[in-house]
Copies of this chain bind each other. A is one copy, B any other.
Amino acid sequence: MTHFPEVPAFTGFNKPSRVEADVQDLDVQGVIPPELDGTFYRVQPEHQFPPKLGNDIAFNGDGMISMFRFKHGKVDYRQRWAKTDKWKLENAAGRALFGAYRNPLTDDEEVKGKIRGTANTNAYIHGGRLYALKEDSPALVMDPNSLETFGYTDFDGKMTGETFSAHPKTDPVTGNMCSFGYASKGVLTTDMTYYEVSPEGELLFEIWWQNPYYAMMHDFAITQDYALFPVMPMTSSWERLEAVKPHFGFDTSMPSYLAVVPRKPVTTAADIRWFKGPSCFAGHVMNAWNEGTKITLDLPVASNNMMPFFPDINDAPFDPVTGSTYLSRWTVDLSQNEEEYRSERLSNMIGEFPKYDDRVTGKKYRYGWLVVIDPSQPVEIKGGSAGGWVMNTLGFVDLETGAEQKYWVGPVSSIQEPCFIPRSPDAAEGDGWIVMVVNRLEERGSELLLFDALEIAKGPIATISIPVRLRFGLHGNWADAAATQSLEAA
């Protein structure tokens, strides 16, 4: 009998959903600007089957893609599984075959050597393809309209690394999709790869190097000339995997690094500059740019581990205070003989899931948005979202004036990563909207909120009812209508 375990990860706010759905013309309160013509994609981890080991973390769920198609002031909704190799094998078996997160030692014999990816972390559009992404595996290609899965790609054999990050960035100047892999030669390897993929989908070049230690390399940044990699001591080992401990553990005894990789086909490991810093937690990046040799990288940083489900490697108790992330700025100057990066705090909001106007990727920019945890607001969610945080507030920063705005969504609500939508291709930076999923405990579904991007404190201009209950979601992106023509199944 298929029955999910009655544990916090699968009950209450986190109850399984597993719904493939279509709803035309969602109910809208307020007004959707009629010029909005495109699609918001996002992904949530969802276990297709009860976890093999009896309990699990959200990050190990299978990818379920939601798309919201905006046109003529109406919104259509579609949701489909990202049908990874793992999903198909388990679907055929009618049960979970793969075990713990990033631990192949816990898998059934019959699936040894199969790609373990869940495609549960990001839904990214480039070159007319929808990429469903998980950092431990190749990119899964889907049709951006039907959400049909085509399968993993190695870019016609040109991608020789085993993994493709869930956080590619598209360079607005070249149109290239810039991405990377870690554990590129397999689980726990320190091998790194950097890739650029042309707008036509051709992998243009790879760069290979080694990290100083094995680390969760979740996100990175690009500038016009460099790719930037924060390295922080969220690490692992075969000993951990053999003991079936959580894959990652945080090691406060190890330093952090910033790697600066020239974005050139001729780059080798020797061309990479490394800058050291104290042990810290750096998950997602906001944006970065370089002015000649001077490099600026903005990212939320915590002074200690922010993920309670990946505990301290020496079993120190989780500390939510030092685990709080604040938008920070790391700077280096390549022309100086610096060995350390400089860090300064940009905001006192506890914030993560940073987003900005994608059209200024790699350039000096002004505006950012974050999911904020506002401890001053009451919380009434039983079960919370993954990890126990309640992400209850949308935050906005104007990095030029230092002005900030916040919008609190209420005591029974949890929000997900915001996404910026430009008003038009050539609108000024920040001129547009923010779209964001909110789950409310008391509602028998979810909502999509639409804000004027520079006026979030005024509250949403439109509330779009999603009659299907969404779960804790990870990342999402907006694509203008022109970017989402259906692929022919190849």
Contact = CB atoms under 8 A, between A and B. Distances in A.
Given A2-B74, A94-B74, A23 B20 contact: yes
A153 interface: no
A15 B32 CA distance: 21
Contacts of A24: 18, 48, 91
A467 B31 contact: no
Interface string A25-56: 11111111000000000000000110000000
A19 interface: yes
Contact of A467 (B1, B3, B19): B19
A25 B49 contact: yes
A7 B22 CA distance: 25
Interface in A302-350: none
Given A94-B74, A444-B444, A469-B444, A18 B28 contact: no
A94 to B, nearest CB: 7
Contacts of A444: 15, 443-445, 469
Contacts of A19: 19, 21-23, 467-468
A17 interface: yes
Given A3-B28, A19-B21, A445 B469 contact: yes
A3 B73 CA distance: 12
Contacts of A30: 1
Contacts of A26: 2
A16 interface: yes
A28 B15 contact: no
A1 B28 contact: yes
Contact of A27 (B3, B74, B91): B3
B469 A467 contact: yes
A27 B51 CA distance: 13
Copies assembled: 2
A21 B25 CA distance: 15
Interface in A375-416: none
Contacts of A27: 2-4, 16
Contacts of A4: 27
Interface in A72-129: 73-74, 91, 94
A445 B73 contact: no
Contacts of A23: 18-20
A467 B17 contact: yes
A16 B31 CA distance: 19
Contacts of A94: 25, 74
Given A23-B20, A467-B469, A445 B15 contact: yes
Contacts of A21: 19-22, 468
A476 to B, nearest CB: 20
B49 A1 contact: no
A36 to B, nearest CB: 12
A395 to B, nearest CB: 27
A2 B75 CA distance: 9
A289 B94 CA distance: 46
A1 B31 contact: yes
Nearest to A32: B1
Contact of A22 (B15, B20, B445): B20
Contacts of A2: 25-28, 74
Nearest to A12: B444
Interface in A248-303: none
Which of A1, A30, A74, A468 counts the most chain B CB atoms within 10 A? A1
Interface of A: 1-4, 15-32, 48-49, 73-74, 91, 94, 443-445, 465, 467-469
The 7 A-B pairs with the shortest beta carbon distances in the complex, nearest first, are: A20-B22, A444-B469, A17-B467, A21-B21, A2-B25, A1-B28, A19-B21
28 contacts: A1-B31, A2-B28, A3-B29, A4-B27, A15-B444, A15-B445, A15-B465, A15-B467, A16-B27, A16-B467, A17-B467, A18-B24, A18-B467, A19-B21, A19-B23, A19-B467, A19-B468, A20-B21, A20-B22, A20-B23, A21-B21, A24-B91, A25-B49, A443-B444, A444-B444, A444-B445, A444-B469, A469-B469
